[in-house]
Amino acid sequence: MRPIAYLDHNATSPLRPAAFDAMAEALRMGGNPSSVHASGRRARATVDKARREVASLCGAASSEVVFTSGGTEANNLALSGAGRRRVLVSAVEHDSVRRAVPHAEVLPVDGDGVLDLAALERALATSAEPALVSVMLANNETGVLQPIREVVRLAQSAGALVHCDAVQGAGKVPVGLRDLGVDYLSLSAHKIGGPTGVGALMVRKSAPLSSALRGGGQESNRRAGTENVAGIAGFGAAAVLAASTPDLAGLRDGLEFSLVQIAPPAAVFGAGAPRLSNTSCISMPGVPAETQVVALDLADVCISAGAACSSGRVKPSSVLEAMGVPATEAACAIRVSLGWNTKAADIECLIAAWKDLYLRVKHSDISRADPQARAA
Partner 1 sequence: MTAITQIRRNDQPIYLDYQATTPMDPRVLEAMMPYFTHKFGNSGSRSHAYGWEAEEGTEKARAQVAKLIGADEKEVIFTSGATESNNLAIRGVAEFYKDRKNHIITTVTEHKCVLDTCRHLEQQGFEVTYLPVRQDGLLDLDVLRAAITDKTVLVSVMAVNNEIGVIQPLAEIGKICREKKVFFHTDAAQAAGKIPLDVEALNIDLMSISGHKIYGPKGIGALYVRRKPRVRLVPMIVGGGQERGFRSGTLPTPLCVGLGEAAEICMKEMEAEAKRLKKLQERMLNGLRAKLTDIVVNGDLEQRIPGNLNISFAYVEGESLMMGIKNLAVSSGSACTSASLEPSYVLRALGVEEEMAHTSLRIGLGRFTTEHEVDTAVDELVRHVNKLREMSPLWEMAQEGIDIKSIEWAAH
Sites of contact with partner 1 (CB under 8 A)? 4, 6, 8, 11-12, 14-15, 20, 23, 27-28, 30-32, 34-40, 68-73, 75-76, 94-97, 99-100, 188, 190, 195-198, 212-218, 224-231, 290, 293-294, 297, 302-305, 307-312
Nearer CB in complex with partner 1: 96/139: 96
- Count other Cβ atoms within 10 Å, centred on residue 18: 16
Nearer CB in complex with partner 1: 127/221: 221
d(CA 294, CA 285): 16
Per-residue burial over 190-217, b if 16 or more Cβ lie within 10 Å, else e, is: bbbbbbebbbbbbbbeebebebbeeeee
DSSP 3-state percent helix, strand, coil across the chain (nearest 5): 40, 15, 45
Nearer CB in complex with partner 1: 11/268: 11
CB burial of residue 261 (10 Å; 0-12, 13-18, 19+):
exposed
Nearer CB in complex with partner 1: 154/295: 295
Minimum separation from the CB atom of position 294 to partner 1 (A): 8
d(CA 252, CA 226): 41
Which residues are annotated as catalytic? 309
Nearer CB in complex with partner 1: 86/335: 335
Minimum separation from the CB atom of position 12 to partner 1 (A): 4
For the stretch 211-217, contacts whose Cβ atoms lie closer than 8 Å and that sit 24 or more positions apart, written own/partner, are 211/77, 211/81, 212/76, 212/77, 212/80, 212/81, 216/34
Distances (CA, A) of 363 to 258, 293, 328, 359, 372: 20, 19, 21, 6, 16
d(CA 65, CA 219): 8
Give CA angle at 59 (54, 64), nearest 5°: 65
